[in-house]
Structures are given as structure tokens and as C-alpha cells.
Copies of this chain bind each other. A is one copy, B any other.
């Protein structure tokens, strides 16, 4: 089977190359870009020297359609809106890593992304690829809206609780932190080394475009959910997201019951690991891997729950989950190409 990666010069694209290079079913892949056509991929990413000889090709949808079976869109938001409908109508399977296809409601997208939304019919066909939650509908999908990095960590962290426990819906707070690779590979003062190093910054306060994505997903569990409190911080590190989630259940709980609830919920999910009571994950413990690690506790003093959910933003938060979705669609082992343990230290 052959795959195309459009937008391969970004960090998400390079991570797709890394995974697909070791994937048993998709060993052939080609790379497309709008900016460095003709250059060898390994000139842009020297870690791939002598590993791949692929050249960056221009994005010609007709050619791509003839040559490949599945297309990964690893482009910034606003590109997939235009390209994906054309690729999709040519019969290819598309997995879009951008935010363009994630919203059923065009207005929501246009309000938060300040861009023109994709056509309604395309949005209706797109399946939100949070694999553990939507595995059954992913199986039959041909068009995947791959979730955002923050939403992946957040929704996997909150879902079992909201599904099984009555909580004060207004109490939910998500305090999220990310490494700098989430901003993509580009020249920018805000993500230059001297501005990020030895610094901890809050950004997009109450304005992050992942807010409506999280709300849309959580409303499928409880339609009464109102607007959520969600803030994002930039951590001086390259990879990793932690969502620290607070909320108040309406009734008292025990730590053990909470932990059991999560363990049960994710018992068949290889890539979600629930920690023992009293044990919390750090981001490095999933570094370079497709795992989402979750720790959870109930504070007897306050009656509040704290959930800690970590992922590697480029893997489970982007390229890893994209391949996980592909595996599900292909009906092969969901972890194909994704079993590499985290890299630590």
C-alpha cells in the first residue's frame, strides 16, 4: 500500500515519515510540499540521510491520486479545506491532521479559526479520529479528522469520568502545558530559542482554537456541558503535553473507585495506560511514543478530582494517532508501526 504525506516538511510530516518507514504494511510513501519542491527530504531533515531517498514533490492532486492509496494531510490549518475535498472525491482515503475537518458546525470553525470552513458534506463524512473513543466508526471511515494534540490528552483524560460519574459541569478546569514543537517548524521570534528557554509562558488565554474541539467532543457525552475553562502554557521543552484537569463530582468518591473506573474503561486500549493510585505520569515517560498515560486522584479534603493526562504531541497528538487510525481502517493490528517504547532519558 502506498501513502502520500502532504506537508512533509513540518514536524508532523517528518514524524509520519519516521513511523511509516518502519510500518509493515506501508513501506512506500512519497512526500509533498508547497515550498521546497525538488529538494531531497533528507536535506531538510538530515536525520533521514541514507534512510530515505525521497524527494519533495509538488502537490499535484491528479498525480497523487494515481500513485497512492492513502493521503496524510500534515498541513497548517486552511490548506486541507481546499485540498481534501478534491482528494477525497478521487476515491482516496484521507487522514487530515489539521483542524479543518474537525467541526460539524461550520460557524464554530470560522469563529475560532478565522478562516472559511470546508463544505458541509465533506464535514459530515469526516470521522473524528480519537481512536479509543471512536474506534467503531473509524473502522468504516474513508475520511478522518485527526484530533488536535491538546484535545487528545484532554478528552482521553475526562471521558471516562464524564461518562460514568455525575460532576458539577461548571467546575471543569483544564490547565494544559505543551512543548514548543506544537508550534510547528518555522522561523518565529516567539518560538526562538532565547525566548522559550528558561521561560514558562501562558498563551492564547481563553482563546485557544482547541477549546471548541474539546467542547464538541465532550458534549457527545453530556449535551448539557457549557463552555469549558481551558488554558495553554509553553514549556521550555521540545515534545510533550500535560493536561492537568480539575473537576468536582457531585458525590463523594474514593481514589480506588476512580482508578478502577479508568482502568476498566481503557482495559482493551494498548495505548492508554492508567497509573496506579498515587502515581502520576510525566511527559518524558511517553516521549517519542504513541502512549497516553493517565493518573487520577480524589482529594478527600476538597472533594475534587485531579486528572493528569500526558502524551507526546507529535505522536499520539498527531502522527502516531494518524497511523493508529489508518491501522484501524485497514483492519490490521492497531499498533502496527507504533510499538516503539518511549525514549527515556
A residues near B (Cβ < 8 Å) are 11, 14, 17-18, 21-22, 45-51, 170-171, 173, 175, 177, 179-181, 185-189, 191-203, 205-206, 226-229, 231, 233, 235-240, 242, 244, 246, 248, 270, 273, 275, 279-289, 293, 295, 297, 299, 301-302, 304, 306, 308, 310, 339-345
Contacts and interface: CB of A to CB of B under 8 A. Distances in A.
Nearest to A180: B193
A343 B343 contact: yes
Nearest to A178: B200
A197 B206 contact: no
Given A187-B188, A192-B191, A340-B340, A200 B345 contact: no
A36 to B, nearest CB: 12
Nearest to A51: B341
A228 B175 contact: no
Which 4 A-B residue pairings sit nearest by Cβ, starting from the closest?
A: A199-B284, A47-B342, A201-B282, A194-B345
A226 B301 CA distance: 9
A192 B197 CA distance: 10
Nearest to A304: B229
A252 B11 CA distance: 42
A189 B197 contact: no
A288 B285 contact: no
23 contacts: A22-B339, A45-B344, A46-B285, A47-B287, A49-B275, A50-B273, A179-B198, A180-B193, A180-B194, A185-B192, A186-B192, A197-B238, A197-B345, A200-B240, A200-B283, A201-B283, A202-B280, A202-B282, A205-B306, A228-B302, A235-B236, A236-B237, A239-B345
Given A193-B196, A229-B304, A341 B187 contact: no
Contacts of A48: 341
Contacts of A51: 341
A240 B186 contact: no
A193 B202 contact: no
A302 B227 contact: yes
Contacts of A203: 280
Contacts of A281: 46
Contacts of A344: 14, 45, 47
Contact of A273 (B49, B181, B286): B49
A93 B175 CA distance: 42
A185 B344 CA distance: 11
A192 B194 contact: no
